Chains A and B, each alone.
Chain A
Amino acid sequence: MTSHPPQPPPVRTGPSAALVRAAVIGCAAVGLAVLVGRPVLILAGLPLLAWALVALARRLARGEEHGVAAPHARTTRRTIEEGGTAAVTLTTAPGVLTAATIPMRAHALFGPRHGSAAGDGSLRLRVTAQRWGRIRIGPMHVLVTDSLGAFRSQQQLPALDIQVMPSSTVLDAPVEVPTPIGVSGVHLSRRRGDGTALSEVREFRPGDRLHRINWRVTNRTGKLHTNATFTEQDTEVLIVTDTISDISPAPWSSDEAPTSLDMTIRATSAVARHYLTAGDRVSLFDIGHLIGPVRAGTGPRQLRVLTDALARAGRQDGRTRTARRLRTVRPGTLTVVCTPLLHAEAIGQIGVLVAHGADVIVVDTLPPSIGDVSVLRGKAMRIDSKISDRFWPEAWALRRLLRETTVRELREAGVPVTAWDGPSSLAPVLLSLSAARSAPRMRRS
């Protein structure tokens, strides 16, 4: 048995200014005609009187004096990708002129352009998402009226949420990790055991598998020899996101230029997809608590959980959030920290992770236009044809220079820092980390 949602009560409509106008003018014309004894005057007011009478008769004939069907809004899709389109459908009843207006939202395009339309009993408004995150459609202002606009009612429908998932870029990087710490997987470990990569040919020992005996070497030496292999393991990848604040690109950059939060989320999405596809366990910790922690998991389900968490994140408030600390991490965990490297809390967190023995990679997500010194000409800049006396470009240039010290210190501490510049950003860092596996190491004291 299927259960239907309860029908909302009908909406009572009231007379509009147009009905008052038509009734007053129509009756005044007839009244004047009677008073001055000139029936020809009736002809001037008769069409307006007819308009009012038709509206009244239509209302009675359709039983609308008790109210019209309450408007009901729904979205065709609750989750879309960046650049995707969802439709908001509003329905009342046939023969009811239904108009809806949605407040404009940043990073969303509406069709019709200004998010307002009217239709007969139902209408569709399209929403195209330009950026990831949650888009709040509404609160929707709805006006229902008869076909003439004589009786009408207005109400506000609650907002609908659409989740926009970050666009799915595929990371152009190797899947090797410095220290695989899992049980079985695709990453070549330094431990010997069951695997496919040959480590050495050695004498047979009790317990060795018979099918690994190397008969060629055994024939030559006269002693049983066996192939020893490296084990293949998966690993745990921890993605740490810094969403403490959202840094907008410089005013002179294009409208499509991403903010620091955009870059952080896109990098997070790409890294998660990359390692989940390789069969690793991926977890997420958000310093700014915008996304919420995602526990470690594997496979397509975990990818869905992660992208859902990213899509749910609201980005409208624009405030700075309080930072949270991740206290412990398993040694050897590959940790990718996506941060604009501006807040001391985020930089401190990187230090904590390194101290716990994690293999940390920092993805720098500060928009490249921020602190760009190439635009400075030694005089006040004109932004939107206005000269600002706040010297923001100069201040950001100084902040970026200051940040360079942090980047240098991180690199000196053995933490690679790479700027997020699309899917190929991490390739050199991951390659160098893989190469570093075989390099001689200095034991930490």
Chain B
Amino acid sequence: MRLGGLVDPIASRLLDLQSVSGTQWVLRLTGIAAMVLALLTTLPAGLFSNVGAGIVSLAVALALIVQFLRPDSDLGLLAPAAIIIALAGQGDLTMLRATGVGFALLLSHAAFALAATIPVHGVFERSAWLLGGRGLLLVLAVSVVGSLVVAALSGIQFGSWMLVLGVLAVIALFATVLPRTR
């Protein structure tokens, strides 16, 4: 096989990267970095310290690769889902670690959500950055207030009746937030 036949497709792929805009590099790399941060915070003992951690790490890596190439992919659900499940299985989860994971997930999610609004060669004008930034600031404010409320209420012991009420509340929340049509 000629060397050119092997090198040319790789060179062509590398040249294609030139058409990726600075906006997309910033958004997609932010999305990846934040998700990796969330994963590292979730698995402080190491990404492959045990079989479960290895599976979670691989799932997150796969989802990230897909989402890096296609930020609008439904497979993007896999990475945060794997992290939440991993957190649920940990007995020593502290509030600080859970909050850190939550905000890292938010940053990754917001970056990929904005990246999905323009093509790979598209750019954000200054006004678009400001609009996105204002929206994210509002979300951050609501999240901080919500986290403080949860932290304050977590010390209170409720009875077993709370489980029924809590499940009903989650179903109601789910029905409110979940989109009906796509």
Q: Which residues of A contact B (CB under 8 A)?
A: 14-32, 34-54, 56, 58, 95, 97, 99, 101, 112-114, 116-123, 143, 145-150, 152
Taking a contact as CB atoms under 8 Å apart, the answer to whether B98 and A41 are in contact is yes
Looking across the interface, which residue of chain A has its beta carbon closest to that of B136? Answer: A148
Contacting residues, chain A, for B124 (C-beta < 8 A): 117-119
The A interface, classified by DSSP as helix, strand, loop or mixed, is helix
Taking a contact as CB atoms under 8 Å apart, the answer to whether B154 and A40 are in contact is yes
Quote the shortest CB–CB distance from A69 to chain B (angstroms).
15
**A45, A118, A148: which contacts B113 (Cβ < 8 A)?**
A148
B173 at the interface (CB under 8 A from A): yes
Taking a contact as CB atoms under 8 Å apart, the answer to whether A54 and B135 are in contact is yes
Quote the shortest CB–CB distance from B122 to chain A (angstroms).
4
A15-B182, A27-B170, A46-B150 known; 18 other A-B pairs, CB under 8 Å?
Answer: A17-B74, A17-B76, A18-B113, A23-B179, A25-B80, A29-B84, A30-B170, A43-B150, A44-B105, A47-B103, A49-B177, A101-B122, A117-B125, A122-B127, A146-B135, A147-B131, A148-B110, A152-B117
Contacting residues, chain A, for B101 (C-beta < 8 A): 44
Contacting residues, chain A, for B146 (C-beta < 8 A): 46, 49-50
The B interface, classified by DSSP as helix, strand, loop or mixed, is helix
Quote the shortest CB–CB distance from A92 to chain B (angstroms).
12
Quote the shortest CB–CB distance from A336 to chain B (angstroms).
44
B50 at the interface (CB under 8 A from A): no
A208 to B64 Cα, complex, angstroms: 99
Contacting residues, chain B, for A145 (C-beta < 8 A): 117
Q: Offer 30 A-B interface pairs, CB within 8 angstroms, sorted by A.
A: A17-B72, A17-B74, A18-B76, A18-B116, A20-B178, A20-B179, A27-B173, A28-B81, A30-B170, A31-B167, A31-B174, A35-B163, A38-B93, A41-B87, A44-B101, A48-B80, A48-B105, A51-B109, A97-B128, A113-B121, A118-B123, A119-B124, A119-B125, A119-B128, A122-B127, A143-B117, A146-B135, A148-B113, A149-B110, A149-B114
Q: Which residues of B contact A (CB under 8 A)?
A: 19, 21, 72-74, 76-77, 80-81, 83-85, 87-88, 93-95, 98-99, 101-103, 105-106, 109-110, 112-114, 116-119, 121-125, 127-128, 130-132, 134-136, 138-140, 142-143, 146-147, 150-151, 153-154, 163, 166-167, 169-170, 173-174, 176-182
Taking a contact as CB atoms under 8 Å apart, the answer to whether B125 and A118 are in contact is yes
**A32, A34, A35, A122: which contacts B84 (Cβ < 8 A)?**
A32
**B77, B121, B167: which contacts A114 (Cβ < 8 A)?**
B121
**A25, A32, A54, A143: which contacts B105 (Cβ < 8 A)?**
A25
Looking across the interface, which residue of chain B has its beta carbon closest to that of A29? Answer: B84
**A52, A56, A95, A114: which contacts B122 (Cβ < 8 A)?**
A114
Contacting residues, chain B, for A21 (C-beta < 8 A): 74, 76-77, 80, 109
**A20, A58, A123: which contacts B77 (Cβ < 8 A)?**
A20
Taking a contact as CB atoms under 8 Å apart, the answer to whether A120 and B106 are in contact is no
Taking a contact as CB atoms under 8 Å apart, the answer to whether B177 and A18 are in contact is no
Taking a contact as CB atoms under 8 Å apart, the answer to whether B139 and A54 are in contact is yes
Q: Which of A23, A117, A121 has the most CB of B within 10 A?
A: A117
A282 to B139 Cα, complex, angstroms: 68
Taking a contact as CB atoms under 8 Å apart, the answer to whether A54 and B116 are in contact is no
Contacting residues, chain B, for A119 (C-beta < 8 A): 124-125, 127-128
Contacting residues, chain A, for B105 (C-beta < 8 A): 25, 44-45, 47-48
Looking across the interface, which residue of chain B has its beta carbon closest to that of A12? Answer: B181
Contacting residues, chain B, for A47 (C-beta < 8 A): 102-103, 105-106, 139-140, 143, 147
Quote the shortest CB–CB distance from A50 to chain B (angstroms).
4
Quote the shortest CB–CB distance from A277 to chain B (angstroms).
44
When A and B form their complex, which 6 residue pairs have the shortest distance between CB atoms, in order from nearest?
A15-B179, A147-B135, A47-B106, A18-B113, A116-B122, A34-B166
A119 to B180 Cα, complex, angstroms: 28
Taking a contact as CB atoms under 8 Å apart, the answer to whether A53 and B131 are in contact is no
A29 to B42 Cα, complex, angstroms: 14
**B95, B122, B125, B143: which contacts A40 (Cβ < 8 A)?**
B95
Taking a contact as CB atoms under 8 Å apart, the answer to whether A44 and B84 are in contact is yes
Contacting residues, chain A, for B116 (C-beta < 8 A): 16-18, 149
Contacting residues, chain A, for B170 (C-beta < 8 A): 27, 30-31, 34
